[in-house]
Every structure is written in structure tokens, then in C-alpha cells.
Structure 1
Amino acid sequence: MSIFKIEELRKTFTNGEVREDILKGINLSLEEGEITALVGASGSGKSTLLSIAAGLQSASEGQVIFEEKNLLDMSPTQVRKIRASSFGFVFQFAHLIPFLTVEEQLMLMLDVSESKLNKKQQKIEVNKTLLLVDMAHRKDAYPSLLSGGEKQRVAIARAIIHKPKVFFADEPTASLDSKRSKDIMSLILKLTKTFNIATLIVTHDASVYQESIN
């Protein structure tokens, strides 16, 4: 079922008299439980499209429709609430908070998403999520003690702990070696299916994505 759509999306930047069309009438739809990969060279507008889709940037024209509502017609406050409750994000670098443990990173996400769970229930949910990404044994570790692959697993756990409906990943394996890249892509695929999430991945390397689904 299509839960998220982009229709005739355009993004134009102007610098003085120079006009540059970055996105020209883009259309796509995301289905629950499926991954859509956006593949292209650096500078082709992939990250710009993802940023607009996630409500982090405005578009020049078009629509970004989530659950039959156009995000581009909403106020910044309304979009922030949707991002916090219904979207999950992972980027090339994990962007973990250095002074929080792995467990605390996920607890914070539950607070940001306005989870109705009490602290005891939150801890149970955190442990369940960390088990899914094979990081429960590292819940008391700080980011400085984690490898690159471990950091990305924690970032993914943080992104899905509130059970988002749409998951955005911007070059999630670009800073990892080939084995860890394949592991991370396989993990994203597993979580997409497990939680029936609509996932949009931006990558310049289609081979990593293709290997993970074969």
C-alpha cells in the first residue's frame, strides 16, 4: 500500500541571474514494507530530494503527500510533529550524541517522539530494539567505544525505535567497508519488512543495495 508520494516535485536554486533546476518534475511513491533505492552520481540532487521528502527543506513546486496530506501545505510545527512521530532518519555518519550511552540515545528518541511509554516500558522497548540490531550487549557503551558499523547499527535502532511509518536513509553505508555495508543494508531490509516501513534509500552505489536483496 502506498503511504507516501511525491508528485511533480521541482527544486530551483537561483544565484544572481543564474537559475539552476536541481529537481525537474520528480514523481515517486513508497510502499509499506518495501525499499525504494534512489541511485545516482554525487551532485545529481538525490540528497536534496530526500531532504524535501523528509520535510527538512522546501520545494519550488509539487507535492509531498504523507497519509493523503501534503507536507508542503503544512506549518513548520505540523511538519516537525510528523517527523518526530512518523519518520525515521539515518545518514552517512551516525551523528550519535557523544555524552550519551547507546541506551540513552534510544531513550532520548522515545522522548522526542512523545512516546506514551513510562520509563520502565521505554527501557524494555530499547532492549528489544537493540536485540534486533545485535547491539544489546553494547547498551552501556559510549559512541567513542563503538566501531563504525556499530555506530550505524545504533543510529538505525534510534531511527526505528518509535516505529516510524517512513524511513529515510541518506548514503547509510558510504563510510563503511564492503562487508559492513552489506550487513547494514541487509539489516535495513529486515527492519523494513519486520515493521512494514516504507523505506527510501539514497545511494551512489547500486551494487551494495542489489547484493543485500539477492
Structure 2
Amino acid sequence: MAVFTVDQVRKTITNGQVKEEILKGINLSLREGEITALVGASGSGKSTLLTIAAGLQPATDGTVLFEGKNILTMSSEQVRKIRASKFGFVFQFAHLVPFLTVAEQLMLMLDVAESTLKKTEQKQEVDKILNLVGMEHRKDAYPSSLSGGEKQRVAIARAIIHQPKVLFADEPTASLDSRKSHDVMTLIRDLTKTLNITTLLVTHDEEMLSYTDHIIKMSDGRTRGQVHCPA
């Protein structure tokens, strides 16, 4: 079932008197429980596409349908609420709040998502998610004491604590060594399947593609075909 559909999305920017078309009519369909990877050279448009799909910047034209509604025509407040409650984000760097413990990072996300759970239930949910990502033993630690791989695991836990429908992952392994990269991608793959999340991944690392269900190659603002990765 397609949860997310991008239809004829275009993005044009103006630099002085020159107009540059960054995205040239992109079509994309994302399904539950699957990871779709966007790959391509720097400047191909893959990160621009991800940020438009996630409601982080507007498109010049086209539609982005999430649960049957076009987020590109919604008000900024409507999009903010969807991002907070329905989307999860993981980036190259964890961007953890330095003065909050691991558990507090996740509790903050529940507040942002306007969780209706009671505080005791929120703490139970935090424990459950930290157990899923293998970080329950570090729940009281501060970011300064965590390794790069541990920080990214916490970032992933924070991204899914509110049970999002879609996970956007923009180069989540770019700052990690090979072993930690494989650990993080294994975790993202397992959580996508276990929690039935729809994951859109941007990566330049071809070794990470083995963890995905679909690969879409981008070049000069266009998609250059889609490859299905058999299990």
C-alpha cells in the first residue's frame, strides 16, 4: 500500500537573473514496511527531494500526497503538525541536545509530538524504544559520553518514539565508520519492518543499498529508473 506519493514535483531556484531547475518532474511512490533509497552524485537533487517530501521546503510545482492529502497545499501550521506527529527524521549528525540525558531526549520528542500518553506511560514507551535500539543501559547518559554510533542510535530512537508513519533518513551513516554504518542500517531496516514504517533514505554509500527494498537513481534533477532489491 502506497503511503506517500510524489507526483510531477518540480523545484526551481533563482540566482540573480538565472533560473535553475533543481527537480524536473519527479514521480515517486513509497510503501509501508519498505525502505526506498535515493542515490546519485552531489547536486543530483536527492536531498532537495527528501526535504520537499518531508515538508521542510516548498516545491515550485507538483503534489506530495500523504495519506491522500497534498501537503504542498497545506498551511505551515498543518504541515508542522504532520511533521511533529507523523514523520521522523534522522540526519548525518545526531543533533542531540547536550544538556539532556538519553531518556530526556525521547521525552522531549513526545512533548513536541503532543503525545496524549500520561508521564508514566511515556517513560514506559521510552524504555521500550531504547530497548529496541540497544540503548536502554545508557538512558541516563549525556551525549558527551556517547560514541558516534551510540548517538545515532539515540537519534533513531528519538525519530520513532512517537510512532511515525514515515521515516526520513538523510545520509544517516555518512559520519560513521564501516562497522557502525552497517549497525545503523541494520537497525533502520529492522525497525522499518517491525514497526511497518515507510522509510525514505538518501545515501551516497553503495554498501548501504543492500539494506533497502528499492533504489531510485537520480541525475540532474531527474530519476533514472528504479531497482527492486529482492529479499
Pick the TM interval, shorter chain: over 0.9
Partner of 1:55: 55
Q: Name the CA distance, whole Å, in 1 between partners of 2:68 and 2:158.
A: 26
Q: CA deviation at 1:211?
A: 5.7
Partner of 2:181: 181
Identity of paired residues, percent? 72
Q: CA deviation at 1:72?
A: 0.6
Q: Name the CA distance, whole Å, in 2 between partners of 1:170 and 1:73.
A: 24
1:157-168 correspondence runs (5 A): 157-168=157-168
Is the aligned partner of 1:124 residue 2:124? Answer: yes
Is the aligned partner of 1:12 residue 2:7? Answer: no
Q: CA deviation at 1:212?
A: 7.3
Opposite residue 47 of structure 2, the aligned amino acid is: S
After superposition, what is the alpha-carbon deviation per residue over 1:38-84, rounded to whole angstroms, capped at 9, x for unaligned? 01112211111111000000000100110000001100000000001
Partner of 1:37: 37
Is the aligned partner of 1:81 residue 2:81? Answer: yes
Q: Name the CA distance, whole Å, in 2 between partners of 1:182 and 1:46.
A: 22
Partner of 1:22: 22
Cα distance change, pair 6–29 in 1 and its aligned pair in 2 (3 A): same
Contact 1:186–1:212 under 8 Å retained in 2:
no
Give SS of 1:181's match: helix
Opposite residue 99 of structure 1, the aligned amino acid is: F
TM-score under structure 2 length normalisation: 0.91
Contact 2:6–2:53 under 8 Å retained in 1:
yes
Q: Name the CA distance, whole Å, in 2 between partners of 1:109 and 1:29.
A: 28
Give SS of 1:100's match: coil
Range 39-48 or range 119-128, more displaced: 39-48
1:65-144 correspondence runs (5 A): 65-144=65-144
TM-score under structure 1 length normalisation: 0.98
Contact 1:185–1:212 under 8 Å retained in 2:
no
Partner of 1:195: 195
Contact 1:4–1:29 under 8 Å retained in 2:
yes
RMSD in angstroms over aligned alpha carbons? Answer: 1.1
Q: Name the CA distance, whole Å, in 2 between partners of 1:108 and 1:211.
A: 30
Contact 1:182–1:209 under 8 Å retained in 2:
no
Opposite residue 157 of structure 1, the aligned amino acid is: A
After superposition, what is the alpha-carbon deviation per residue over 1:114-138, rounded to whole angstroms, capped at 9, x for unaligned? 1111111100000000000000000
